[in-house]
């Protein structure tokens, strides 16, 4: 008696995959389609079904706001069906959403840190966001405000050189904010006064 599977097994496995697929149990459908494809690698119907299962799993993940997971599964669908424009478009949308979600997360963290007077953490979060979306006006404005906030803190602690660095950075990012320029002049005056007192 042979231990190898009969040639019709791949059809049964594929059909089981279709049952799972129709139930929207894409994880199990993918496993069945993968197995069927291993048993009959030339069957394009199995590959097409597997690609669609990955795509639909990715859509479900996307709708659950699991953007990075959905990206991975859209990529798997495209590996199998590289010319499928719908899969490619889905991947682009997931990537844009993942980017926006990450920037939003970083900005929220920056806002919370700023409100807790943790200016360095706020700046760190905003610099990360800035790497993801360079030249984003909202991120740049928030970053300049965070630098200014930390500068004010340093100024009140009489750490004038650190305050000057932060005010200068804030002003460089957003030169239209006249308050930042005024803060820079104030800290320059404070530095001049403290040097005058040391003489």
What string of pLDDT tens digits covers the 199 residues of the chain? 334 444 568 888 888 889 998 998 888 989 888 888 888 888 888 888 999 999 999 999 998 889 999 999 999 999 999 999 999 999 999 999 999 999 999 999 999 999 999 999 999 999 999 999 999 999 999 999 999 999 999 999 999 999 999 999 999 999 999 999 999 999 999 998 877 665 5
**Domain assignment present for 172:** yes
Helix (H, G, I), strand (E, B) or coil at 118: coil
Are 21 and 102 part of one and the same domain?
Answer: yes
Kindly state whether residues 95 and 152 are assigned to the same domain: no
Q: What is the DSSP letter of 6?
A: P
Show the tokens assigned to 72.
Answer: 């991975």
Residue 108: inside a domain, yes or no? Answer: yes
- What per-residue confidence (pLDDT) applies to 3? 40
> Domain residues for 158?
117-199
What six digits make up the tokens of 99?
């980017």
Same domain, 88 and 49: yes
Q: Kindly state whether residues 147 and 89 are assigned to the same domain.
A: no
Same domain, 14 and 47: yes
Taking CB atoms within 8 Å and a gap of at least 24, the contacts of 182-189 are 183/148, 183/151, 183/152, 183/155, 186/155, 187/151, 187/155, 187/160, 187/163, 188/164
Pull the structure tokens for residue 41. 């690698």
**Domain final position from 74, 92, 116:** 116
Instruction: Report the distance separating Cα 51 and Cα 192, nearest Å.
Output: 69
Q: Alpha carbon of 160 to those of 146, 153, 185, 191: distances in Å?
A: 17, 10, 11, 6
The phi, psi pair for 171, rounded to 5°, reads -70, -35
- Among candidate residues 116, 151, 166, the one where a domain is terminated: 116
The pLDDT of residue 14: 86
Residue 157 pLDDT: 95
> Same domain for 88 and 149?
no
Q: State which of 116, 137, 169 marks the end of a domain.
A: 116
Domain CATH number, residue 24: 1.25.40.10
pLDDT of residue 8: 65
Q: Do 129 and 112 fall into the same domain?
A: no
CA 36 – CA 38 distance, rounded (Å) = 5
CA distances from 107 to 34, 56, 142, 144, 170 (A): 41, 31, 8, 13, 17
Q: Which residue has the tokens 């990360």?
A: 128
Are 85 and 22 contained in the same domain?
Answer: yes
Q: What is the rounded distance in angstroms from the CA atom of residue 71 to the CA atom of residue 65?
A: 11
At residue 86, the pLDDT reads 96
- Provide the domain count of the chain: 2
């Amino acid at each position: 008696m042979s231990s190898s599977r009969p040639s019709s097994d791949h059809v049964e496995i594929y059909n089981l995959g279709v049952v799972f697929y129709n139930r929207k149990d894409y994880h199990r459908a993918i496993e069945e389609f993968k197995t069927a494809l291993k048993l009959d690698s030339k069957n394009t119907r199995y590959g097409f079904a597997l690609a669609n299962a990955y795509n639909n799993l990715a859509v479900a993940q996307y709708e659950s706001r699991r953007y990075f997971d959905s990206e991975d599964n859209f990529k798997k669908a495209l590996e199998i069906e590289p010319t499928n424009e719908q899969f490619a478009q889905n991947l682009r949308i997931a990537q844009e959403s993942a980017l926006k979600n990450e920037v939003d997360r970083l900005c929220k963290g920056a806002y919370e840190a700023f409100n807790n007077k943790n200016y360095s953490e706020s700046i760190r979060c905003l610099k990360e966001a800035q790497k993801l979306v360079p030249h984003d006006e909202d991120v740049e404005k928030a970053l300049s405000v965070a630098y200014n906030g930390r500068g004010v803190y340093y100024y009140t602690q009489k750490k004038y050189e650190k305050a000057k660095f932060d005010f200068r950075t804030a002003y460089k990012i957003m030169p239209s904010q006249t308050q930042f320029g005024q803060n820079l002049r104030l800290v320059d005056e404070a530095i001049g006064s403290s040097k005058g007192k040391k003489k």
